[in-house]
Structure 1
């Protein structure tokens, strides 16, 4: 069976005429993916190539089923040129956003269109082989249910919380019980090239690409869930840091307390301002006799989850609203620190706690004004995510797409 265009590209030595031609084809595909359909003249100008050369490359891409001739351009007078663009089924990208108690999985095409998506699929993330096997089973089942051949899926992005090195493919927080990179283990099991990413960074990129961001280039995305993570966008690019682990916002030692964080240190922001902290404090209040609608369908306090508190707050539960406000105030203190450091144009609130909207945002804004420098905070917008459940899965899809085309 002959190899596909992208398989040949990956196998080629980066030298010689053959590689140069294949790389030029990739640049044409990237142009179509980013800018839409174009004429030969448009491509000549962008790639600084002659018309015969571009025409030859386009014809080869048409033969390979990656590009279509869409006929004459109706917007010009005189001799109208032909318009070319990506074939609708040229290739697809899979994204998997793994949460604590569920996952989201989606398929997009080159044009960023969502072809298939499954949200809130029940799944419990644990650092065990059984949990990894279940994840692989869910992904395989999703692929088997698609109406496109597996060979058309050019890459898969998988988001995990904690320390993830997207360059090496290692995860140091989950599924790290083999010597090989986790990306290669999953790739071997599924049969599709895999890129791992930290969930907060992927959410930041998803929101930056298709969410609430407009013209801003310097953005901080807060993933407010059981833990606290951030994704940092500087000049339109994800900031990774030297070792690839930037964004451990939850482990800034901001409090003077004796609470041991799951990282092993004391005083971390997560010990008092995370979903875990909210859940633990909420349970303490219920055990002490506080009433709450979150317990209506629960047999014991131990059954409570973060989503129960969020749903209670959005149903005007006083205890949930009060405790979320306290969390918001503490988070605002941490965000003030970020604003003083980065002076961003925009801070986006995402993750499950962002669903409480003004219950968490208003006390957060008050603390930001109290603790940040006004010259900076006055220029920083604070917004709620426009992709409450899809930022991560869209980010996973788009990152693997962009990396294949050298767009990110």
Structure 2
């Protein structure tokens, strides 16, 4: 009995190696995979019979023979039509979504405005999106859903949420009942880090195993990749850097005073609110704020100078704390104003850290990175390859 169990474990491990190699190849052959994974051709052929039966293999036709001649190989790749996944970004003002193949490529995406701060009405909008999906050219249709949330998550449960009350509604459970597919909920900064790891959207000659994804938007958060894996800390609370206390030694605290947090002062929402207060207007939209910044408005520029120093100092401090190979930075302010980006990075450089990580301004929006990270996370679960090195395609 024990011997059979051991053989089953070995076969399952071999199956995962073959599936991993198939997934990561643009196109390949059974003989090539046999060489890459170090398994006998008969073993690989047996595994391929199972993978073909499950719908994971797509035949591409006959390839070229090798330099020494011989039989031309039958070329194959991971089957893009196996099924698709749906990834949501549960934002403060918008519900964004993307529909993707398991291999990563986007089929279509979209966004709708969120008018309620209750989870139930947002779930109803999710149902509408799911009901409109019709992808006929897949074997299994919808096979999984991921949800990016702006809150710490542990074991698919929200620890606390600054924007929505998840306690009153079991979002994961309701989606699983509706679709009968697995649903994963994860912190958006963690998913952004997974995106940078799995989609490899940087110099392909570099393989970062220890890096940080810094997201500056409604709040401020980081996703941490350590030895190639997400570091979540106790109860998924690692990375909640927006709650970092800011202390001014010149201020005098009295009983009941509360020290501000980093995101209370320097998140996008905080900066926009501070500009609105300085101009004595009740509400300032993000677009209006960006317009004021382009115009170099006198109410905005001093705050932006302060913001640049604060963000640069925080990047420096992150480097001292983690000594990562790289820090990926997502910010709509950086996206729109290269001169602000350069000025901020110059301040970081002038702080003259002993260790200088690669500082990479993301070309992908915060929302796209989080959703595509969700695509990778749920696809890994479907494939049973959560801890394997996989490369997804845009």
TM-score for both structures, normalised by structure 2? 0.82
Q: 1:7 corresponds to which residue?
A: none
| SS of the residue 1:243 aligns to | helix
- Does structure 1 retain, via aligned residues, the 8 Å contact 2:81–2:139? no
Pairing partner for 2:292 from 304, 309, 312: 312
**Partner deviation per Cα, 1:358-407 (whole Å, 9 max, x = no partner):** 3542453354345x55312xx22323211125211111111111233314
**In the TM superposition, what is the alpha-carbon distance from 1:157 to its structure 2 partner?**
1.1
Shift in alpha-carbon separation, 1:74–1:98, aligned structure 2, 3 A = same
Inter-partner Cα distance in structure 1 for 2:123 and 2:139? 20
Matched, 1:201 2:176: no
Q: 1:136 corresponds to which residue?
A: 126
Inter-partner Cα distance in structure 1 for 2:53 and 2:353? 59
> How many aligned residue pairs are there?
370
Q: 2:51 corresponds to which residue?
A: 61
Q: 1:122 corresponds to which residue?
A: 113
Pairing partner for 2:78 from 86, 100, 106: 86
Q: 2:334 corresponds to which residue?
A: 354
Pairing partner for 2:29 from 29, 33, 39: 39
| SS of the residue 1:303 aligns to | coil
Pairing partner for 2:354 from 348, 351, 375: 375
Map 1:223-238 → 2, pairs under 5 A: 223-238=215-230
- Does structure 2 retain, via aligned residues, the 8 Å contact 1:136–1:189? no
- Does structure 1 retain, via aligned residues, the 8 Å contact 2:83–2:138? no
Map 1:3-402 → 2, pairs under 5 A: 24-76=14-66, 77-118=69-110, 120-124=111-115, 126=117, 128-142=118-132, 144-147=133-136, 151-165=140-154, 167-173=155-161, 174-178=164-168, 182-210=171-199, 212-214=201-203, 215=206, 216-256=208-248, 266-287=259-280, 301-314=281-294, 316-358=296-338, 360-369=340-349, 372-376=351-355, 379-388=356-365, 389-402=367-380
Inter-partner Cα distance in structure 1 for 2:294 and 2:211? 28
Higher relative contact order (CA 8 A, sep 6+): 2
Inter-partner Cα distance in structure 2 for 1:190 and 1:384? 37
| SS of the residue 2:289 aligns to | helix
**In the TM superposition, what is the alpha-carbon distance from 1:251 to its structure 2 partner?**
1.0
Q: Which runs of 5+ in 1 are unaligned?
A: 1-13, 288-300
| SS of the residue 1:103 aligns to | strand
Which stretch of structure 1 is more off in the superposition, 207-216 or 232-241?
207-216
Inter-partner Cα distance in structure 2 for 1:221 and 1:280? 25
Inter-partner Cα distance in structure 2 for 1:94 and 1:308? 32
- Does structure 1 retain, via aligned residues, the 8 Å contact 2:151–2:158? no
Shift in alpha-carbon separation, 1:57–1:218, aligned structure 2, 3 A = closer
Q: Which runs of 5+ in 2 are unaligned?
A: 388-394
**In the TM superposition, what is the alpha-carbon distance from 1:59 to its structure 2 partner?**
2.7
| SS of the residue 1:89 aligns to | coil
Shift in alpha-carbon separation, 1:193–1:342, aligned structure 2, 3 A = same
**Partner deviation per Cα, 1:92-125 (whole Å, 9 max, x = no partner):** 222111222113211221332211222x432246
**In the TM superposition, what is the alpha-carbon distance from 1:145 to its structure 2 partner?**
4.5
Inter-partner Cα distance in structure 1 for 2:267 and 2:247? 13
| SS of the residue 1:88 aligns to | coil
**Partner deviation per Cα, 1:187-237 (whole Å, 9 max, x = no partner):** 223332101110111122223333643313332221111211111222332
Inter-partner Cα distance in structure 2 for 1:30 and 1:238? 19
